[in-house]
């Protein structure tokens, strides 16, 4: 295993033996894994090294949130016979002193991602989301200065609506997403075992019989045909806790 010690800089970093998150194979899974790595645990990670171009490849990202922080995350692609992508976190703790985000940093700081996504999901405007974030900062003036702009939130909303992570071409795509190991949570014990407050979880699935417009050639105007639908309910631990505070 890889190991790291501040007093011995030549010694290498050690990662957890079990992945913190898993993702399906394919470009959708890769994109989702890299996005999760960059905001893992509510911290920003950047400066990637390595490649996911082939089976068994990996990319590592270092913490850019804290001064002199040794924490890293790694996305590894499975070998040819197992597929998928796996996110591993290095062992240890983050440093305590915050860094300003790099001048060229794009997007939204990881500490705000979950709350911004929640606001977008509720249909709030970027202006309202900014106001809610400022209120949530309380008396922490330094954190208020880090609140993302309306333009960045609008860009995040646009990205979310077009992200391949949430685009499903077939029911099979949805089933593969739902049944990814560790994503479907059906018991309290499974829920309590999740450490990452921002990990996207599926709580239940549903199938409904319905009717849709009959678009077949020669169909009468307004004619319908039976069809089956499939969907799922999802969220994060952080979102559930927040909802519990207001309900």
Helix, strand or coil, per DSSP, at residue 174: helix
Q: How many domains does the chain have?
A: 3
Q: Print the domain residue range for 4.
A: 1-105
Q: What is the DSSP letter of 41?
A: G
Note the Cα 29 to chain centre separation in Å.
Answer: 11
Beta bridge partners of 227: 210
What is the value of pTM for the model shown? 0.59
**Residue pLDDT tens, the chain, 247 long:** 333 333 333 346 789 888 888 888 888 788 888 988 999 988 999 988 988 887 788 999 999 999 999 999 999 988 766 778 899 999 989 999 998 877 778 889 999 988 888 888 777 889 999 999 999 999 999 999 999 999 999 988 887 766 655 566 666 667 767 776 677 888 888 888 887 776 778 888 877 788 888 888 888 888 888 887 777 787 778 777 776 665 5
8 A C-beta contact, residue 232 and residue 200: no
Same domain flag for 24 and 92: yes
Domain contains 213: yes
Residues 96, 145, single domain; the answer is no
81 and 37 assigned to the same domain = yes
């Amino acid at each position: 295993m890889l190991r790291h010690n501040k007093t011995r800089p030549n010694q290498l970093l050690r990662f957890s033996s079990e992945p913190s998150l898993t993702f399906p194979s394919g470009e959708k899974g890769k994109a989702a894994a890299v996005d999760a790595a960059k905001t893992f645990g509510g911290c920003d990670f950047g400066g990637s090294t390595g490649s996911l171009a082939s089976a068994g490849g990996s990319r590592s990202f270092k913490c850019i949130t804290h001064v002199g922080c040794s924490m890293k995350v790694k996305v590894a692609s499975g070998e040819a016979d197992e597929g998928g992508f796996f996110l591993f976190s290095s062992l240890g703790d983050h440093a305590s002193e915050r860094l300003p985000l790099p001048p060229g940093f794009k997007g939204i700081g990881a500490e705000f991602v979950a709350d911004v996504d929640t606001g977008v999901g509720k249909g709030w405007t970027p202006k309202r989301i900014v106001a809610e974030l400022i209120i949530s900062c309380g008396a922490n003036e330094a954190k208020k200065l880090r609140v993302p702009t309306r333009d960045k939130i609008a860009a995040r909303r646009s990205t979310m609506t077009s992200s391949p992570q949430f685009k499903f071409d077939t029911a099979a795509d949805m089933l593969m997403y739902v049944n990814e190991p560790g994503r479907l949570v059906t018991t309290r014990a499974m829920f309590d075992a999740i450490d990452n407050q921002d990990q996207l979880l599926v709580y239940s699935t549903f199938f409904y019989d319905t009717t849709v417009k009959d678009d077949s050639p020669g169909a009468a105007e307004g004619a319908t045909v039976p069809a089956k639908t499939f969907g799922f309910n999802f969220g994060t631990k952080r979102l559930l806790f927040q909802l519990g505070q207001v309900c």
